[in-house]
Amino acid sequence: MSDTATTPTNATFDQFGLHADILKAIAEQGYTTPTPIQAEAIPVVLGGRDVMGAAQTGTGKTAGFSLPIIQRLLPLASTSASPARHPVRALILTPTRELADQVAANVQAYAKHTSLRSAVVFGGVDMNPQSAELRRGVEILIATPGRLLDHVQQKTANLGQVQILVLDEADRMLDMGFLPDLQRILNLLPAERQTLLFSATFSPEIKKLASTYLRNPQTIEVARSNSTATNVTQIVYEVAEGDKTGAVVKLIRDRGLKQVIVFCNSKIGASRLARQLERDGVVATAIHGDRTQSERMQALDAFKRGEIEALVATDVAARGLDIAELPAVINFDLPFNAEDYVHRIGRTGRAGASGDALSLFSPNERKQLADIEKLIKRPLDVQRLTVDTPVRHHHDERAAPRRERDDRGGSRRRTTGAHERPHGTHHRQQPVDDFFLKPYEPSPSAVSAAAKRDEAPAAPQKPASKQPLAALLGGFGMPRKTTPSN
């Protein structure tokens, strides 16, 4: 498809010729040297070329595309109040609301000393404030596909002057069934534009998307920065299934963890674990698709402020979360999809900080462990963890279906879905939160507009790509931890 860039070393932000206003913002963010993806992507994007970037969240890719976009748009920046002087010139599409919000926060910080305007639109919240902001005019728009189409339909977003398109986490967008929405959006954009596609994997579907919509792209493949990878210590603790909650409490207490994400394979499991941890004195909350957007944002903010010790999350809810310097993640369940393990442990050891990826492994998860080791191309250090005083509750919530309180204080009947099959049954299906899988999420105010569409609904969810990740991630040459698990 194109030449592959090599990773430069010793780069500085000064070398790119970025405007002083952008350099000032970079300095204020505390960035001193560009990450490898930034060192590679910034000059290519500045040169106007299309990019096919293999990079995950955590590599610094957001600044890698945002900084040169801001630089390229600066000559068009206007201090005029007229909306006509602020058309959408750069569009950044992301699969999830959380990622959209994070990208928007970064763009805003990087552009704060310029007169360029940015805004973010995503579903699950009132459209009206978004519409008002769009009407005032923004040059850089960050959006999830469904809500963007709502705005296009309502004529609050006009994409006719977009010069730069970014497809962020493109593999995730396809996995979530956004392809039809993406195609609709792409058809609304000028053919003459620069397109930047970022994806953790280059599956055949991604390559097809790229060959259809990108022009002679430069491929940029960057391993998750070696400093990050080598700073993540991975330990697998073998425990009885019934002792897992006690094991989480023990790990948090013994290691003095003040901020940890605990991953569960299902949203019901996440809610249950958060409640159990609370009963055992750990300040915990669950973040998953049964929570409203504002509940999830509140939980995330409280976690970032250090008010919550354990954020219990499902994979899709946690995708793209950027929490600086997270000391540890715990896998309560080993993920069914080995790639999710890589995404999960990428939440710790970010931007050069060290971190621990601690996984609980019960005998019925051998297949998942084998899949992970195959993917990362190395055996994992398995230690026994003895939970002295197993945390058991009067009613074992893993038992048969019953009415349970949901996170909003209501009561609902448990349904038996793909994520809830008892252990030992066949469960290779990707565990996902349906909330996030709705490719089209009209708000109440957009329902009438959406109803008018004659196009078919988005494609159903497909299982996540099985492309190997280890090559992109540098093979995880991490030291084994030899200390006993006490």
Q: Which positions lie near ligand AMP, rule CB under 6 A?
A: 31, 34-35, 38, 57-63, 322, 324, 350-351
With a CB cutoff of 8 Å and minimum separation 6, the contacts of 26 are 13, 18, 63, 67, 110
Q: Which residues of 157-166 are buried (b: 16+ CB within 10 A; e: fewer)?
A: bebeebbbbb
Identity of residue 368: Q
- Minimum CB–partner distance for residue 392 and ligand AMP (Å): 39
Minimum CB separation from ligand AMP for residue 350, in Å? 6
CB nearer to ligand AMP: give 57 or 233: 57
Q: For ligand AMP, which is the closer residue by CB, 41 or 209?
A: 41
Which residue's structure tokens are 């993920």? 335
Q: Phi and psi (nearest 5°) for 254?
A: -60, -35
Pick between residue 144 and residue 266 the one whose CB is nearest to ligand AMP.
Answer: 144
* Residue nearest ligand AMP, CB atom distance: 62
d(CA 87, CA 227): 40
Contacts of 422 (CB under 8 A, 6+ apart): none
If the CB atoms of residues 259 and 430 are measured against ligand AMP, the closer one turns out to be 259
To the nearest whole angstrom, how small is the minimum distance from the Cβ of residue 33 to ligand AMP? 6
Find out whether 226 and 476 touch, Cβ atoms under 8 Å: no
**In the complex with ligand AMP, which residue's Cβ is closer, 440 or 476?**
476
Give the residue with the Cβ less far from ligand AMP, 16 or 237: 16
Q: In this complex, which beta carbon is closest to ligand AMP, that of residue 92 or of residue 334?
A: 92
Minimal distance, residue 139 CB to ligand AMP, in Å = 20
**Angle in degrees, CA 110, 189, 83, rounded to 5:** 55
Cβ distance to ligand AMP smaller for residue 62 or 331: 62
Q: Specify the 3-state DSSP secondary structure of 121.
A: strand
Smallest separation (angstroms) from ligand AMP to the CB of 100: 12
Least gap, CB of 370 to ligand AMP (angstroms): 30
Nearer to ligand AMP, 46 or 76 (CB): 46
Concatenating the DSSP letter of every residue in 226-282 gives HHHHHTEEEEEEE--GGGHHHHHHHHHHHTT-SSEEEE-SSHHHHHHHHHHHHHTT-
Tokens read off for 445: 């105010």
- Shortest CB 146 distance to ligand AMP, Å: 22
Question: Which pair of tokens denotes residue 262?
Answer: 């605990």
CB 62 to ligand AMP: min, Å:
3
Q: Supply φ then ψ for residue 263, to 5 degrees.
A: -95, 135
Closest CB 315 distance from ligand AMP, rounded Å: 17
CB of 164 to ligand AMP, least distance (A): 17
Q: How far apart are CA 306 and CA 327, in angstroms?
A: 12
Instruction: Supply 136's token pair.
Output: 């005032």
Rg (CA), the chain: 22
111-to-21, 33, 66, 114, 220 alpha-carbon distances in Å:
8, 18, 9, 5, 24
Strand ranges for 27-88 from DSSP E: 51-54
Residue closer to ligand AMP by CB (options 34, 177) is: 34
Phi, psi of 302 (to 5 degrees): -65, -40
* Closer by beta carbon to ligand AMP, 28 or else 455: 28
Q: How far is the CB of 58 from ligand AMP (least distance, A)?
A: 5
**Residue of 86, 79, 64 whose CA lies nearest to 18:** 64
